[in-house]
Amino acid sequence: MSMIRWWSGGGLALSAVLLLAGCGEQGPKEGEDALAVSQALGGDDMEGYARALAPRDFQFPEDHAAHPAYRNEWWYVTGNLDDPEGRRFGFQMTFFRFALSPTPPESESTWATNQGWMAHLAVTDVAGDRHQALERFSRGGAGLAGAELDPFRVWLDDWELKAESGNDFPWRLLAAEGDLALDLRLTPLKDKVFQGDRGLSQKSPEPGNASYYFSMTRLKTKGTLRLGEQDYPVTGLSWMDREWSTSVLGENQVGWDWFSLQLDDGHDVMVYELRLEDGGVDPLSKGLWVEPDSRHQVIPQDAFELEVKQTWISPQGGTYPVAWHLRLPEQDRDLEIRAVREDQEMDLTVRYWEGAVDVFEAGQPAGRGFVEMTAY
């Protein structure tokens, strides 16, 4: 999430939802508006929290677990899958942790906690022309949600991302809600890559407005997806982002467009644009080019060109891009990106668009990926 998912950055409205919520679904009620990203990013009190100020030495498996000294954190997995007959699916599953205060409450109760949790699950069935999006909330106490090692596990109720044994891969992604369920096994095909400056991803000029951010850009994925009464054996590729931070967006930043693309020739590319109030793009926008052997290099904002080619008007309001032209001159790549379905809007407590895309080059299929867009 992707990238900079600061939705929970101290916003009073979202914090109240989490404090009151146990496990289960909770989104905007009929007739209510979803939270705008700017609302959810509210809250300027960062005193007492750790800040992402300089590059750090990442430690594993420790950095697979939670970093409660920072205000926000997420474990984010997206992917594109096919069944044996070629039926196409996209999926997203993300676990969000955020601190409601810098220190835990002084209480011996197992229910006492300063940690809130949220999880999002979405599946796009291309042939069925359907996109489903679900969310859950919980406090971090009493074993309702959390992240731990030995063995590695991140969970909210019975939605979980966990190691099959110990802390190492392969990992399992498991979730079920109503007529939707998935059980996927994730195995890395490439090494971890560290975003920005050795894992320090600066989002705006102010010191500390940054995150610690690494990705696993190509995960072999195999398992089962259930839609209604039908179970589909599926295989494909997934992408995982890990990120934690405290700071929110800069004052003049309103949203972002984030792309993760897995090309058929073995290259992977991530680019994001941070959008400004005046309609411009922040120069701290950037990307990452990943070679088949995991070697990688940062793509600065002036080294890629992203042009919107088509838009879609949401019934909820807002106009989202759904087709783009991405030029990467230094890599000599010229890519067309198209959403597999225009409506992949996550109409949840925080509304945004996130969905599967196809990639074309010289008019021919060249890969697949995922796109996230906020504040439209």
Residue 6 has pLDDT above 90, yes or no: no
The answer on pLDDT for 40 being more than 50 is no
**Residue 333: which residues within 8 A CB-CB, separation 6 or more?**
269, 326, 327, 361
Residue 170 lies inside a defined structural domain of this protein: yes
Residue 343 lies in a domain: yes
Closest CA to 79 of 190, 185, 193, 154: 185
Asked whether residue 60 is domain-assigned, the answer is yes
Report how far apart, in Å, the C-alpha atoms of 140 and of each of 7, 22, 63, 123, 335 are. 18, 10, 19, 26, 42
- Measure the CA–CA gap between 264 and 343, rounded to whole angstroms: 25
Task: Give me the chain's average pLDDT, please.
Answer: 89
Distance of CA 149 to the CA centre of its chain: 21
Among 33-37, 68-72, 160-164, where is mean pLDDT lowest? 33-37
Residue 44: per-residue pLDDT: 63
173 domain-assigned: yes
Query: Greater confidence, 109 or 184?
Result: 184
Token couple for 67: 């970093």
User: Does residue 368 surpass a pLDDT of 70?
Assistant: yes
pLDDT value of position 367: 98
What number is the average pLDDT over the span 111-129? 95
Q: Which amino acid is at 328?
A: L
pLDDT tens digit sequence for 58-108? 999 999 999 999 999 999 999 999 999 999 999 999 999 989 999 988 888
Residue 27 pLDDT level (bands cut at 50, 70, 90)? very low
CATH of the domain at 152: 2.40.370.10
| pLDDT tens, residue by residue, 127-141 | 999 999 999 999 998
Position 248 scores a pLDDT of: 63
Q: Give the rounded percent of residues in the chain with a pLDDT score beyond 90.
A: 77
- Contact indicator for 204, 198 with CB cutoff of 8 Å: no
**Model confidence at 20: pLDDT above 70:** no
- Measured CA to CA, the distance from residue 259 to residue 112 in angstroms comes to 38
Taking only the tens place, the pLDDT of each residue in 322-365 is: 999 999 999 999 999 999 999 999 999 989 999 999 999 999 99
Domain encompassing residue 106: 12-373
> Is residue 46 predicted with pLDDT exceeding 90?
no
DSSP annotation of 12 reads H
In a domain, residue 178? The reply is yes
Give a yes or no: residue 1 inside a domain: no
Question: Do the domain assignments include residue 315?
Answer: yes
Rounded CA-CA distance 220/214 in Å is 18
Q: Long-range CB contacts (< 8 A, 24+ apart) of 152-156? A: 152/61, 152/64, 152/65, 154/75, 154/95, 155/95, 156/23, 156/95, 156/117, 156/118, 156/119
Q: What is the mean pLDDT of residues 215-220?
A: 98
Which pLDDT tens digit goes with each residue over 280-329?
Answer: 999 999 999 999 999 999 999 999 999 999 999 999 989 999 999 999 99
CA distance 25 to 23: 7
Helices (H), the chain: 12-20, 37-40
The span from the CA of 207 to the CA of 67, in Å, is 20
User: Pick the residue with more confidence: 247 or 227?
Assistant: 227
Instruction: Provide the number of structural domains found in the chain.
Output: 1
Q: How confident is the model at residue 42 (pLDDT cuts 50, 70, 90)?
A: very low
Asked whether residue 6 is assigned to any structural domain, the reply reads: no
